[in-house]
């Protein structure tokens, strides 16, 4: 069985500061891992994905995440926050291709001027 824990339901950073959103997973098989972003009043969109290739994954809008098996983590980072990054971010895991996504509860990111 798979599960996802996102540490911190709300994160607030200053514009230009580092963004770090934490995600830990549990999986009995090698996982696929994902970050999705939800802007206000919109549906979710895929930000980046890890599907057993390179452990450092780059996504859209300058975000990246690193798969660390030893820590069962897949934290999302961005070196410099922009006001437009304010959104809800969801981490998800699946047991491989064609398997149901298991979602975290989400982390709301606020960016202060």
Partner 1 sequence: DAGVIQSPRHEVTEMGQEVTLRCKPISGHNSLFWYRQTMMRGLELLIYFNNNVPIDDSGMPEDRFSAKMPNASFSTLKIQPSEPRDSAVYFCASSLASKTYEQYFGPGTRLTVT
Q: Choose between 81 and 104: whose C-beta lies nearer to partner 1.
A: 104
Cα–Cα distances in Å, from 107 out to 87, 91, 98?
8, 9, 25
- Nearest approach in angstroms of CB 7 to partner 1 is 15
Of 18, 54, 60, 105, the residue at the interface with partner 1 (CB under 8 A) is 105
User: Across the strands, what pairs with 19?
Assistant: 78
CA 28, CA 80: separation in Å to the nearest integer? 35
Cα maximum dimension of the chain = 42
> Of 50, 35, 46, 48, which Cα lies nearest the Cα of 89?
35
- Nearest approach in angstroms of CB 68 to partner 1 is 20
97 belongs to the binding site for partner 1 (CB under 8 A): yes
The sign one gets for the Cα dihedral 51, 55, 58, 64 is positive
Q: Choose between 32 and 81: whose C-beta lies nearer to partner 1.
A: 32
- Nearest approach in angstroms of CB 71 to partner 1 is 22
Give the binding site for partner 1 (CB under 8 A).
32, 34, 41-46, 49, 51, 90, 92, 94, 97-101, 103-106
């Amino acid at each position: 069985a798979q599960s996802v824990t996102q540490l911190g339901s709300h994160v607030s950073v200053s514009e230009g500061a580092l963004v770090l959103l934490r995600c830990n997973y549990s999986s009995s098989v090698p996982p696929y891992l994902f970050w999705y972003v939800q802007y206000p009043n919109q549906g979710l969109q895929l930000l980046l994905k890890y599907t057993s290739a390179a452990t450092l994954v780059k996504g859209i809008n300058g975000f990246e995440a690193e798969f660390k098996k030893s820590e069962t983590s897949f934290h999302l980072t961005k070196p410099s926050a922009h006001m437009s990054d304010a959104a809800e971010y969801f981490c998800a895991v699946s047991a491989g291709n064609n398997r149901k996504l298991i979602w975290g509860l989400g982390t709301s990111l606020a960016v202060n001027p």
